[in-house]
Amino acid sequence: MTPAQMAETHAAAFTEARPWSADEFEALLSNRFTHQTGDRRCFAVYTLITEQVELLTIATHPDFQRQGLAKQCMELWHSKAAAQGAEHAFLDVAEDNAAAIALYRSCGYVTCGFRRGYYLREAGVRVDAIAMERALP
Ligand SMILES: CC(C)(COP(=O)(O)OP(=O)(O)OC[C@H]1O[C@@H](n2cnc3c(N)ncnc32)[C@H](O)[C@@H]1OP(=O)(O)O)[C@@H](O)C(=O)NCCC(=O)NCCS
């Protein structure tokens, strides 16, 4: 996928939080630690450093949600990262993002901490992040 395609899917999927621009995706993917997987329907971006991997974002275009694509995409980046040596996966999720929390739990993630006021919503409202982890593969 190109950064512009990622930005397009991200903008369609993220209605509560600010989507990332094509320039932001391009900058993120310009370092050798950050990778992407998926297609215009659903994609994920993750950073892999030695045995640790962190999910930076995942998005499914609203036209394709609830079809199992995000779950497949999670499994794909888990197996790619594990093949590259990752043993532990981490992510942050906004505490009001019920869909993503349910997705991550269904993929075996458990809560490992909180970041108070981590996300900034419109009108200056701050939302806590839940930190989640799981072992790989
Ligand atoms: C979260 C998101 C990626 C899920 O994508 P998806 O392709 O629709 O998810 P899947 O179809 O693979 O769902 C897998 C499981 O996740 C959970 N889930 C997904 N969407 C859900 C929803 N709206 N409400 C409750 N649970 C949900 C369910 O457990 C689901 O399994 P089921 O359909 O058998 O019940 C999608 O809703 C999205 O793009 N949201 C906006 C972006 C976002 O919040 N990204 C995550 C934070 S970075």
**DSSP per residue over 7-70, as a string?**
HHHHHHH-SSSPPPPHHHHHHHTTSTTEEEEE-SSEEEEEEEETTEEEEEEEEE-GGGTTSSHH
Q: What atom of ligand 1 comes closest to residue 55's alpha carbon? A: 48
Per-residue pLDDT of the chain (137 residues; tens, 9 = 90+): 999 999 999 999 998 888 999 999 999 999 999 999 999 999 999 999 999 999 999 999 999 999 999 999 999 999 999 999 999 999 999 999 999 999 999 999 999 999 999 998 878 899 999 999 999 98
> Considering only CA atoms, which residue is closest to atom 24 of ligand 1?
99
- Domains of the chain, start order: 3-135 (3.40.630.30)
Torsion of CA 6, 7, 8, 12, to 10 degrees: 110
What's the pLDDT at 54? Answer: 98
Residue from 64, 103, 115, 119 whose mutation best tests the ligand 1 pocket (most atoms within 8 A of CB): 103
